[in-house]
Structures are given as C-alpha cells and as structure tokens.
Amino acid sequence: MLTIGDSNGAMENGWVDQLKQIRFNDHNYNTSISGNTIGFMNNGDPRLNTLHNIDNYMSSAIDHLKGLDALIITLGTNDCKIVFKDSINLVSENLKELIGMIRAHDAYKASQPRIFIVSPPPFGIASHSHDEFVHANERMLRLYPELKKTALSEGCTFIDIKSQLDGVIDHLTSDGIHLHAEGQRLMAEIISQEIDKYDLD
C-alpha cells in the first residue's frame, strides 16, 4: 500500500509506523512529509503539494512494491493553516483533482487499488497558541464535510478519524496538532479496521 500524509504520518512512531506494526504482513511505501498539503504550495515548497508530486509517488510505489492494493491519504491539517484561509473552498476541489490524477496513472490502471481518504484528526485547544493554526479548527469544521462528500462521491472509502477523536483529542496531543504515540496508535487501529472490511489480496 501507498501512504500519503503529513507530519503525523512522517514522524517516528506516527500512524504509518503504528499501522506497519499492526499489519506486519503488509508492504507499505510511505511518502508522508511534514507540512504536506493536498494542493497548496505550503511555505513556497513544491514538495509539500501532493498534486505536484502524486505521479512520482505512484511511480515510486510501484517500483518499490511491485504492485498496489491500496492508497491511504491522510491530508488536510496543513490546508487549514491561516495563510490558506481564503482558499479553504479550494481544498475539496483539490482532493477531487488528486483522485482523478491517481486514477489516470498507469499504476492505478494496472492494479485498481482501493483509495482510502482519511479525515485529518481534529485540532486540540493548544493549536490556538500557534500563529499559523489560529482558528484552524473552525476551518476544519467547514472542510470536514466537504472532504467526506468528495471522497464518497468519487467512490473512495472515507475513514472518519475526526469524529472518533473529537471528544478526546486534548488528551492525545500537547500542541493541538501532533498526536502522542497513544493517539497515533488509535488512529492506526481505526484505519486498519476499515482496511479489514475489504479483500485487498
């Protein structure tokens, strides 16, 4: 499987590492990178714009995995930064474009992998102390239903992390953005349970 995410997926013992521990028989190619977005040039860095990099991700995954059963995309946290507040309405459109680019790639056509769109976790109260994430949870509240609607309308599987962590998020993070190991494990378990509903072999 190909995993695409941001810092929560890139960090040591993040949800991708935890998922590998739970699903130790799976082969996972992780492209998660801190600061990653669905379709914005975060900090002016093209490496942090998944739309710009998805073809390379797909090609590299095939080279490493020799096949592809699933894509797991967990993005949206950085798309809620205050610098993108006037472009929040573009995020779901960017997701739709991203799904289209995935399906246009030869690697997808060859394997027809299932696409899992995972909602970002909610922001904790402490996120307000970070200038770049001021009022990010308000933007997330607006973005969340749009991501869900886009994922389902495009025939993808939507995994709802946000709703499942809403009531406990402040126990799972210190800075309101990055989850502790316990939160990462919980996130990985939720994702794994959803994957188990499908025969991906």
**CATH code for the domain in which residue 46 is found:** 3.40.50.1110
Question: What mean pLDDT is predicted for residues 73-94?
Answer: 97
Distance CA 98, CA 102 (A): 6
Domains: count for the chain: 1
According to the model, what pLDDT value does residue 67 have? 87
In this structure, are residues 38 and 50 in contact, taking their beta carbons and an 8 Å threshold?
A: yes
Residue 190 covered by a domain: yes
Q: What backbone torsions phi and psi does residue 56 show, to the nearest 5 degrees?
A: -65, -40
Residue 200 covered by a domain: no
Residue 158 pairs in a beta bridge with: 117
Confidence category of residue 199, pLDDT binned at 50, 70, 90: confident
- Asked if pLDDT for residue 200 goes beyond 80, the answer is no
* Alpha carbon distance, N-terminus to C-terminus of the chain: 11
Distance CA 117, CA 111 (A): 18
According to the model, what pLDDT value does residue 137 have? 93
**Hey, how many other C-beta atoms are within 10 angstroms of the C-beta on 112?**
10
- Asked if pLDDT for residue 201 goes beyond 80, the answer is no
User: Which of 27, 37, 38 minimizes the C-alpha distance to 67?
Assistant: 27
- Asked if pLDDT for residue 147 goes beyond 80, the answer is yes
Cβ-count burial of 39 within 10 angstroms (0-12 exposed, 13-18 middle, 19+ buried)? buried
Residue 201 covered by a domain: no
Residue 163 covered by a domain: yes
Question: What mean pLDDT is predicted for residues 7-34?
Answer: 96
Distance CA 58, CA 50 (A): 11
Amino acid at 181: A
pLDDT single digits (tens) 94-114: 999 999 999 999 999 999 999
Residue 30 covered by a domain: yes
Residue-wise burial string across 55-71, b where 16 or more C-beta atoms lie within 10 A, e elsewhere: eebbeebbeebeebbbb
User: Which of 53, 9, 49, 46 minimizes the C-alpha distance to 30?
Assistant: 9
Calculate the average pLDDT of the chain: 96
Question: What mean pLDDT is predicted for residues 70-74?
Answer: 98
pTM of the model: 0.96
Domain carrying residue 71: 2-195
